[in-house]
Amino acid sequence: MNILFLGDIVGKPGRDVVGAELGRLRDRLKTDLVIANGENAAGGFGLTRAVAEELFAAGVDVISTGNHWADQKEILTYIEAEDRILRPQNYPLHTPGRGANLYATPSGARVLVINVMGRVFMDALDDPFAAVGAQLEACPLGEGADAVVVDMHAETTSEKMAMGHFCDGRASLVVGTHTHVPTADAQLLPGGTAYQSDAGACADYDSVIGMEKSEPLQRFTRKLPSQRFTPATGPATLCGVFVVVGAKGLATRIEPVRVGGRLAPALPLI
């Protein structure tokens, strides 16, 4: 099974590069499932019905999110009806939506996708390790699911790496999101789980993590906000990770994906 995970889609430039490149990538990589983090897809903050439908039409099968998932209030009702959108599982019990779900690929394979948010330098939420552990016990790899993907939306690499080792041998892929910079540590952990600390972003990298440079510079140099952050509008790079899952649900291969924009390209060979 071939799975493509795309990092945080930031605003229209991120959506545009996904729309332009994902169809070709799906064909080239023979993907069975595409997951994308969409928490910044609507103007850099949150997700709307129209933006989600645009991403689905472009070839995204599942949209994960993070700390900005509810910034656009219309999502609170939409996420209840649309099970292809996830919010972090470790939000309080009665939060709208779901944080994990089982998806069927065209071949009939079952993929459990779990979305959680870290707690270091982030909002105070329930324990992400307990939340993931409960899902892995309820739907074990190789029994309830043919593959398991965990999106760990977190600020620190240490918390993300700890989640990777926590899930090693019990998940196909643990990948970090949120920091928008693709890390150079794509690897297979000892137990067979594919891991990368951050998938990066689908965004213009002539920016500050996808945002137009002037306002972040103003805040860093003068400690005075002057306006809202807005997505940088130049050509975007599509960033993500490509994973091949073997018959037992563990990964046999992981490689970074980078297409377009300013970053050096990386495209797996099939």
The CA distance from 65 to 261, in Å, is 23
266 part of a folded domain:
no
Percent of the chain residues past pLDDT 90, beyond the cut:
94
Which structural domain, as residue segments, surrounds residue 139? 2-259
pLDDT band at 17 (very low <50, low <70, confident <90, very high): very high
Q: Is residue 240 part of a domain?
A: yes
| Structure confidence by residue, pLDDT tens digits, 205-233 | 999 999 999 999 999 999 988 888 999 99
pLDDT at 24 over 90: yes
Kindly state the percentage of the chain with pLDDT values over 70.
100
Q: What average pLDDT does the segment 113-118 reach?
A: 98
Could you tell me if residue 173 is inside a domain? Answer: yes
Distance separating alpha carbons of residues 125 and 122, to the nearest angstrom: 8
Which pTM was predicted? 0.96
Query: pLDDT for 33-52, tens place per residue?
Result: 999 999 999 999 999 999 99
**Polymer length of the chain:** 270
State the catalytic residues: 68
Judge contact between 179 and 152, C-beta under 8 A.
no
| CA-to-CA separations, 207 to 88, 181, 197, 215, 217, in angstroms, rounded | 27, 11, 21, 10, 10
57-66, 159-168, 225-234, 241-250: which range is least confident on average? 225-234
Is residue 18 included in any domain, yes or no?
A: yes
Exposure string of 113-142, with b = 16+ CB inside 10 Å and e = fewer, is: bbbbbbbeebeebbebbebbeebbeebebe
Which residues make beta-bridge pairs with 141? 145
Strand partners, 86: none
265 occurs within a structural domain: no
pLDDT computed for residue 85 by the predictor: 98
Cα separation, 109 vs 96, in Å, equals: 27
Asked whether residue 198 carries a pLDDT value surpassing 90, the answer given is yes
CA dihedral 105, 111, 112, 113 (to 10 degrees): -70
**Cα–Cα separations (whole angstroms), residue 205 to 138, 164, 225, 227:** 40, 27, 22, 20
Domain count, the chain: 1
**pLDDT band at residue 247, thresholds of 50, 70 and 90?**
confident
Is there a domain that residue 56 lies in? yes
**Three-state SS at 35:** strand
**Domain of residue 105, CATH code:** 3.60.21.10
pLDDT at 226: 85
In a domain, residue 156? The reply is: yes
Q: Cα–Cα distance between 202 and 168 in angstroms, integer?
A: 27
Residue with tokens 């965990």: 150
- Residue 228 has a pLDDT of 87
With 0-12 CB in 10 A as exposed, 13-18 as middle and 19+ as buried, what is 111?
Answer: buried
- Predicted local confidence at residue 270, as pLDDT: 83
Give the number of other Cβ atoms within 10 Å of residue 64's Cβ. Answer: 28
Helix (H/G/I), strand (E/B), else coil: 100 = strand
In a domain, 35, yes or no: yes
